[in-house]
């Protein structure tokens, strides 16, 4: 049994701070979608055509969902416990950002101010993200 245990025991232990090789995570994906959301909100405000507005609402809601998706991936797959220890505000920041992209935020609002608020949250996440990349 001891011989089998020695044979099967890993000879090299490796660790990584993310699930895949570095470079696959980036808050830019969420930011690009959030910029689209804000642009749609601005165009919605300046256009009275009901067909245009209907299409704008649909696209805005889809893009808001994509923002949430990209933020959740960062929150759950990239950031690790030591990041949350170093940046104790990170959980709350992600919570606020995903809610800002939700029904009470950009998904449910036509006001570009909600789009800007979402972009501001993403900018804060982006700053922390790049600080963690510098440290690794």
In this predicted model, what pLDDT tens digit does every residue of 36-81 receive, in sequence order?
A: 999 999 999 999 999 999 999 999 999 999 999 999 999 999 999 9
Statement: residue 16 has pLDDT above 70? no
Residues 38-52 as b or e (16 or more Cβ within 10 Å = b): bebbeebeeeeeeee
Q: Mean pLDDT for the chain?
A: 89
How many other C-beta atoms are found inside a 10 Å radius of the C-beta of residue 22? Answer: 11
Domains and CATH numbers, the chain: 25-135 (1.20.120.400)
Distance in angstroms (rounded) separating the CA atoms of residues 88 and 46 = 40
Please tell me the predicted confidence (pLDDT) of residue 135. Answer: 77
Please tell me the predicted confidence (pLDDT) of residue 134. Answer: 87
Q: Which two tokens stand for residue 135?
A: 């440290």
| Arithmetic mean of pLDDT, 104-122 | 97
Statement: residue 5 has pLDDT above 80? no
Do residues 101 and 67 make contact, with C-beta atoms less than 8 angstroms apart? yes
């Amino acid at each position: 049994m001891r011989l089998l245990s020695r044979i099967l025991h890993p000879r090299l232990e490796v660790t990584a701070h993310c699930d895949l090789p570095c470079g696959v995570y980036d808050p830019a994906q969420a930011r690009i979608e959030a910029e689209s959301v804000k642009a749609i909100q601005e165009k919605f405000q300046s256009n009275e055509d009901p067909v245009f507005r209907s299409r704008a609402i649909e696209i805005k809601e889809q893009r808001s969902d994509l923002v949430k998706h990209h933020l959740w991936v960062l929150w759950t797959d990239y950031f690790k416990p030591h990041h949350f220890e170093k940046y104790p505000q990170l959980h709350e920041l992600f919570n606020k950002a995903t809610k800002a992209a939700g029904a009470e935020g950009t998904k449910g609002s036509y006001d570009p101010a909600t789009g800007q608020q979402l972009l501001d949250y993403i900018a804060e996440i982006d700053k922390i993200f790049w600080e963690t990349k510098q440290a690794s």
